[in-house]
A = this chain, B = another copy of it.
Amino acid sequence: MLNPETTALLVIDMQKDAVERLVPTGAQAVPAIAQALKAARTAGITVIFGLRVHRANGDDVERFRQAVFQEKPFLVAGTPGAEVLPELAPLPDEDRIVKTRFSCFFQSDLLILLTRQEIRTLVVCGIQTPNCVRGTVTDALAYDFDVVLLDDAIRAMSPEVHAANMYDMVQMGATSMTTAQFVSSLVH
């Protein structure tokens, strides 16, 4: 179903601080994301990591998060907390998109990378469903990409919020499947 040459797997915010401090439920998605990564790499699918990274002084943090950040900074450039979880570490040739907002497209070069590589389908996983995942998906749909959501490889703070957001994104035009279905779709 998916054409590996025009498909990219996008892993969102699976960084140490994000999983350990901001969205602890993200840890539950690690096995599924690892499975998706392995299958994508085997199939030769482009893998891209969307990463939230902030300046140490917080000047680039959303205004509504300033207080939380100033109390205890998170995802600061150059610190271990901003690194991808070791189980999901990017390979040397895999692109990393650095961002300071929800959407991986916001003021990043993601659109340029996808256009250059002639990607038409974006397979999305990571955390968390209502914020960075949904912000990214909204922009991807606006740019007319086909979007595939790996339901069990995405997490929100609660299952209810996850389900409500998955429903909305499918209504908006995205497709939802399990990681197992994604892996199967790559085996010929």
Contacts and interface: CB of A to CB of B under 8 A. Distances in A.
Given A160-B164, A161-B164, A161-B168, 6 more contacts: A62-B173, A64-B173, A130-B172, A131-B172, A134-B138, A164-B165
The count of identical subunits is 2
Nearest to A164: B164
Interface string A159-177: 0110011011001110000
A179 interface: no
A120 to B, nearest CB: 10
A23 B133 CA distance: 25
Interface of A: 62-65, 101-103, 106, 130-131, 134-135, 138, 141-142, 144, 146, 160-161, 164-165, 167-168, 171-173
B173 A142 contact: no
20 contacts: A62-B141, A62-B142, A62-B173, A63-B144, A64-B172, A64-B173, A65-B173, A102-B138, A102-B141, A102-B142, A103-B142, A106-B142, A130-B168, A130-B171, A130-B172, A135-B142, A161-B167, A164-B165, A164-B168, A165-B168
A175 to B, nearest CB: 10
Contact of A64 (B101, B103, B141, B165): B141
Q: Which of A62, A130, A165 has the most CB of B within 10 A?
A: A130
Nearest to A66: B144
A80 to B, nearest CB: 27
A160 B163 CA distance: 12
Contacts of A64: 141, 172-173
A171 B165 CA distance: 13
